[in-house]
Amino acid sequence: MRAVYDGIIGLAIGDALGVPVEFKTRMEIAKNPVVAMRAYGTHNQPMGTWSDDTSLTLALLDSLASKGKIDYKDIMDRFSDWLLYSEYTANGDVFDVGNSTRAAIINYGQGRNPLECGGTSKYENGNGSLMRILPIAYYLSKNGNGTLESQMQIVHNISSLTHRHPISLIGCGIYINVAMKLLLDGKPLYQSVEQGIKEAYEYYKIKMSKYINAYHRLENLELFLCLSDSDIQSSGYVVDTLEAALWCLLKTDSYKTCVLKAVNLGDDADTVGAVAGGLAGIYYGIDNIPRDWIEVIAKREYIKKLSEKL
């Protein structure tokens, strides 16, 4: 299995590349495409600064590594520490918080059961659980095979801490299943991704048939990859983010080209970069990530230490 650090630093770098151009349109970015790390921009942050995507990923990672098991209360305690006390931030600044994630943490603070904190409205299907869920792929891969049913239940529970609608649960399930194939199979990229999607898709056609159609474009991967840039959306909607990340991963042949393609799509650039970067980091490994990008990432040694702890 690939080292945990490969995927986590891959996610953080994709996030940091996208932070300066978050919310910019594709046309705006096309005038000055992202080709390397930048400083300032949208959030006026130093070069190498990552956002809530990485912060919440690290909070989940730290909980899994510290507790040695899944403890939903502990995870929500750490999410709360991030929002309220700036724990797990790049530079002590919480500058990018999703509305659904904030609401869920507030619900938890008011005494709600952790697994009932996430919103269930169809309008609460942002990418806030997808962007942080990657550590679960390592946890499930490390702690026995289990059944697909039991694995998906864990994924759904982790998503439900902030996002409980079935469309969000499905997006996380597809993503983690793909990540686990990349971690464990050792097969060519396309084959692993196709198998991961197909297995998850067949599961959801039975278990969540009412909602799986939201991801219908992923059912035929060959046709999906025929889509042009203009057919791919990079909004904060969980379906758009997952599609964009997988499309970038499969339309490129290196970590660098994958994450640059992702952030240059614009809009929710940091999250698309993070979601794509996590998978690309797993597949290509640390040696394929530009060294100069790693060196400017905020708290990279801390990220490495947490990853090794798991």
How far is CA 93 from its chain centroid? 20
Give me the pLDDT at residue 282, please: 98
Question: Does pLDDT of 2 surpass 80?
Answer: no
pLDDT tens-digit map of 179-214: 999 999 889 999 999 999 999 999 999 999 999 999
pLDDT at 135: 98
Residue 172 has pLDDT above 70, yes or no: yes
- pLDDT tens-digit map of 236-267: 999 999 999 999 999 999 999 999 999 999 99
Tell me the C-alpha distance between 217 and 24, whole Å: 25
Q: Which residues contact 168 (CB under 8 A, 6 or more apart)?
A: 118, 124, 125, 126, 129, 130, 159, 238
Cα–Cα distance measured from residue 50 to residue 286, given in angstroms and rounded to the nearest whole number:
18
pLDDT band at 1 (very low <50, low <70, confident <90, very high): low
**8 Å CB contact between 74 and 67:** yes
Q: What's the Cα-to-Cα distance from 93 to each of 116, 120, 130, 288, rounded to whole Å? A: 28, 29, 22, 30
pLDDT above 70 covers what percent of the chain? 99
Whole-angstrom Cα distance, residue 149 to residue 261?
Answer: 34
Chain segment 115-153, per-residue pLDDT in tens: 999 999 999 999 999 999 999 999 999 886 689 999 999
* pLDDT exceeds 80 at position 4: yes
Query: Cα dihedral sign for 129, 55, 301, 87?
Result: negative
CA angle 159, 162, 164 (to 5 degrees): 60
Classify burial at 216, counting beta carbons within 10 Å of its beta carbon; exposed 0-12, middle 13-18, buried 19 or more: exposed
C-alpha distances (whole Å) from 238 to each of 61, 68, 79, 91, 168 are 21, 29, 20, 27, 6
Check pLDDT > 90 for residue 96.
no
What whole-number percentage of the chain has pLDDT above 90?
A: 96
Write down the pLDDT at residue 144. Answer: 67
pLDDT tier at 165, thresholds 50, 70, 90: very high
More confident residue, 24 or 145: 24
Task: Give the integer Cα–Cα distance in Å for 11 and 232.
Answer: 20
Contact 69, 144 (CB under 8 A): no
What is the chain's mean pLDDT, rounded? Answer: 97
- At 115, list the tokens: 């697994």
What's the average model confidence in pLDDT over 295-309?
97
pLDDT over 80 at 109, yes or no: yes
Question: Is the predicted pLDDT of residue 308 greater than 80, yes or no?
Answer: yes
Return the pLDDT at 180: 97
pLDDT at 245: 98
SS3 content of the chain, % helix, strand, coil (to 5): 65, 0, 35
Instruction: Give residue 143's pLDDT.
Output: 81
Q: What is the mean pLDDT of residues 273-291?
A: 98
**pLDDT band per the 50, 70, 90 thresholds, residue 25:** very high
Q: Of 22-31, 136-145, 172-181, which gets the smallest average pLDDT?
A: 136-145
Q: Cα separation of 51 and 244, whole Å? A: 19
Prediction pTM value: 0.97
For 193-239, the three-class secondary structure string (H helix, E strand, C coil) is HHHHHHHHHHHHHHHCCCCHHHHHHHCCHHHHCCCCHHHCCCCCEHH
In this prediction, residue 209 carries a pLDDT of 96
What's the rounded mean pLDDT across residues 151-179? 98
